[in-house]
Amino acid sequence: MPTYDYECKACNHEFEQFQSMKDDTLKRCPECGKDRLIRLIGTGAGIIFKGSGFYETDYRSSNYKKAAEKDKKTTTPAPKETKSKKTPAKKDGN
């Protein structure tokens, strides 16, 4: 039987529940008794996207911006104001 993670949106209580996949999702929070439970597993990737997912999007878009900027003004050397760990790729020809 799979274990499902639930979180209560009313009191933020989190717990795991063994359930058959045929069972209905729980709604009532055992802590506060309100019907505010959401099931985290299955949609987990969607719900936790504020972590790694967001970062990845941000990373990609910043890369994209850099590329666009580089493309826009190829004659100007890249400013050093970016605080990325890696140095941005140098122009071809060095």
Interface positions with Zn ion (CB under 5 A): 8, 10-11, 13, 29, 31-32
Residue 38 Cβ, how far from Zn ion at the closest point, in Å?
11
Of 11 and 48, nearer to Zn ion (C-beta) is 11
Of 15 and 66, nearer to Zn ion (C-beta) is 15
Tokens of 71: 């493309």
Tokens of 20: 């058959």
Rounded to whole angstroms, the Cα distance separating 61 from 46 reads 19
Of 26 and 78, nearer to Zn ion (C-beta) is 26
Please give the DSSP secondary-structure letter assigned to residue 37: E
Rounded to whole angstroms, the Cα distance separating 85 from 32 reads 46
Residue 11 Cβ, how far from Zn ion at the closest point, in Å?
3
Residue 39 Cβ, how far from Zn ion at the closest point, in Å?
14
Element (H, E) at 64: helix 52-72
